[in-house]
Amino acid sequence: MLYGHCPILFTEEIMGAEFASVPQPYGAVHIGIVVFIAAAALGLFFLFKRLDDKKLLRIIIILGAFMLLTEIWKQFFVAKYVYKDVVSAWFFPWQLCSMAMYCSFSLLFIKGAAREAVLVFLCTFTPLAAVMALAVPEDMMRPQIALFCHSFLFHALMIVECLAAMRILLRRERVRFYPSVILFLIMAAAAEAINVISHNIIRDIHVEANMFYITPYYPSTQPVFHEIAVRFGTAAEIIVYLLAIILASFGIFLIEFRLGRRRKSAN
């Protein structure tokens, strides 16, 4: 009965609809979406300045819950429309970009130093992951319209969570970066464990997990790091890749909480 009353949401024709011509990276559709996300982020950055910490925290948690629900939907969608009758772990929800939904929803349950580490992670590692995905979107440019829209919406919400977390932390006298690094390394270790288990179960590089893009079994698909893996081996590539993420995230931290505070003091 529900299907009959909501044909737009539930018919297979809509859910399984595909682009007649798949949007290409750096094409008009991709650039238009990125520009829209950037403009919306700028507006929200100033809007969030008017909200107190409690409201900002509520926004982050609600977005996290929404992202978790859409991730559950995505897993069913992928099983039905992308990998039909094929066991696949490629879309297993433990990529660096996936961490935002877990972190944001976890704020409902944690406080103190753990909450601070998660907030710092959300406004450093999370925007880096979102920008990297939007800048190199090949895996997001899917022929399935619903999956395409989910991918870009998910990464846009990551940026919104980052902005809300940043506004909360900018009101603190002291913010530490290193606890978020420990959190990241724990996540990366879990990602590698998933990669190893997946490889030994599935044994097909086309559908096995490559969480955080640090599988030890074949070169990274990421630009530059692929060449490092080919020349020096996957172990060297993984170490360099993780260090690069940490350093880039630390750079974001310095911009947000060092330069940002100096500018605030000057004003």
Angstrom distance (rounded) from CA 252 to CA 250: 5
Tokens of 22: 């798949």
Assess if residue 4 is contained within a domain.
Answer: no
Q: Which domain holds residue 262?
A: 26-266
Q: Please report which confidence band the pLDDT of residue 266 belongs to, taking 50, 70 and 90 as the band edges.
A: very low
Assess if residue 20 is contained within a domain.
Answer: no
Assess if residue 17 is contained within a domain.
Answer: no
Assess if residue 9 is contained within a domain.
Answer: no
pLDDT at residue 115 is higher than 90: yes
Tokens of 200: 């030994």
Question: pLDDT tens-digit profile of 175-231?
Answer: 999 999 999 999 999 999 999 999 999 999 889 999 999 999 999 888 899 999 999
Q: Please report which confidence band the pLDDT of residue 260 belongs to, taking 50, 70 and 90 as the band edges.
A: low
Cα diameter, the chain:
62
Q: What is the pTM of this model?
A: 0.92
pLDDT at residue 8 is higher than 50: no
Chain mean pLDDT for the chain: 92
Assess if residue 5 is contained within a domain.
Answer: no
pLDDT at residue 10 is higher than 70: no
Angstrom distance (rounded) from CA 18 to CA 181: 40
Assess if residue 12 is contained within a domain.
Answer: no
Assess if residue 6 is contained within a domain.
Answer: no
Angstrom distance (rounded) from CA 31 to CA 37: 10
Residue tagged 């999956």 (tokens) = 147
Q: Please report which confidence band the pLDDT of residue 267 belongs to, taking 50, 70 and 90 as the band edges.
A: very low
Work out the average pLDDT over 44-55: 97
Assess if residue 215 is contained within a domain.
Answer: yes
pLDDT at residue 87 is higher than 90: no
Q: Per the structure, how many domains does the chain have? A: 1
